[in-house]
Amino acid sequence: MDHGQIEEILHRLSQLEVDTATLRSELSSGAKTAIPGSVAEEPQGNSHSNEQLLDVLANGDWPTKPRQSTPNGWDSLVDPWVDAVPTIGDKVPSAYRIWQSSRRYFLKGDLERASRCERLNYIMHNSYVPAELDLKDEVTFAYGGIGVIVHKDSEIQKNVTIGANVTIGGNGHQQRFDERKEIYSTVPKIGELTTIGACANISGGIELGPMTIVAPNAVVTKSFGPGSILGGVPAKKIGQITVENALRYRAKFLPARRLNETDYQELAEALLANNIESTDDDKEKNHG
């Protein structure tokens, strides 16, 4: 991007800061006002009435007419911003990958760069995945991790898939014992190979067992055992994954798609080994 393009963007940004309320006040008092780049800025002899000028402002013409033509000729407001976006590599880093860098800087003691990574996640994905969060092995963020909020004390096991706009947070009503820190925690533990659908909310000191499926938009506020299929507000168990039917749900677990049927079945048997059919009340592990 050359100096002229930068100057053009800065000029047009300054136009956006014009106070239209002040303009209307000046116009109503009879003051002469000219907007750079608008149809009102013309040689003397081609004056416009106040009403015409207000129409121009209402139509949005005044800030969208650059002093020079746009390179591709599509949209005089959008194109300069498109041109200003740098091309770095061929992909936007996922929220997980940015978190990895923030975590490395955090553990190294470079809190400034760790904080910058957190802000980068916010800018790129509108997500909050703090450097203090301790994720176990790989976690998959659907669509790169759009709109994800994860509490720093959340315990998330490996091969968990987190959908877009998911919130994993805490509340003061439920507690579970966090074996990592040997304290009671008010934020969730998510078991291995769990899939969390888009816009789901999981909160409190609860535990979801391995191979759990949380349906989109579900609100989970209590614990469930391995292989539970959850849906609704508040979430209830609407299905159960067992060793016998596990293959039917293989496609729901993104990391499992890399495994052949034999390896997947062995993993399912290991994760569901401690699953004992019982009522939802028996599966609750809340301490409150």
Are the beta carbons of 8 and 67 closer than 8 angstroms? yes
CATH, residue 155: 2.160.10.10
Overall domain count for the chain? 3
Mean local confidence (pLDDT), 40-47: 44
pLDDT at 137: 80
For residue range 48-103, list pLDDT tens digits in order.
456 666 666 556 555 544 455 655 666 677 777 777 666 655 578 889 999 999 99
Write out pLDDT tens, residues 252-281: 998 888 889 999 999 999 999 865 444 344
Question: For residue 158, is pLDDT > 70?
Answer: yes
In a shared domain, residues 110 and 211 = no
Q: Are both 30 and 105 inside the same structural domain?
A: no
What CA–CA distances, in Å, run from 242 to 67, 158, 248? Answer: 66, 20, 10
Residues 224, 252, single domain; the answer is: yes
The confidence score (pLDDT) of residue 31 equals: 52
Q: Is residue 11 part of a domain?
A: yes
Residue appearing with tokens 């239209």: 20
pLDDT score for 26: 60
Query: How does residue 284 score in pLDDT terms, banded at 50, 70 and 90?
Result: very low
**In terms of domains, do 102 and 10 share one?**
no
Assigned domain for 284 exists: no
63 occurs within a structural domain: yes
Q: Rounded to the nearest 10 degrees, what angle do helices 95-108 and 111-125 cross at?
A: 170
DSSP string spanning 100-124? HHHHHHHHHT-HHHHHHHHHHHHHH
Spatial CA neighbour of 247 closest among 277, 217, 231, 267: 267
Per-residue pLDDT of 212-256, as tens digits, reads 999 999 999 999 999 999 999 999 999 999 999 999 999 999 888
Q: Are residues 110 and 190 in the same domain?
A: no
State the residue range of the domain holding 98.
Answer: 93-132
Q: Do 146 and 257 sit in the same domain of this protein?
A: yes
Q: Look at residues 45, 61, 84 and tell me which one is the last residue of a structural domain.
A: 84
Q: What is the mean pLDDT of the chain?
A: 78
Beta-bridged to residue 149, according to DSSP, are 128, 167
* 288 domain-assigned: no
Mean pLDDT to the nearest integer, 9-34 = 56
**121 is written with which tokens?**
């996640």
- Note whether 189 and 126 are same-domain residues: no
Same domain? For 163 and 247 the reply is: yes
- In the chain, pLDDT over 90 holds for what percent of residues? 50
Do both 189 and 141 map to the same domain?
yes
On whether residue 106 sits in a domain, the answer given is yes
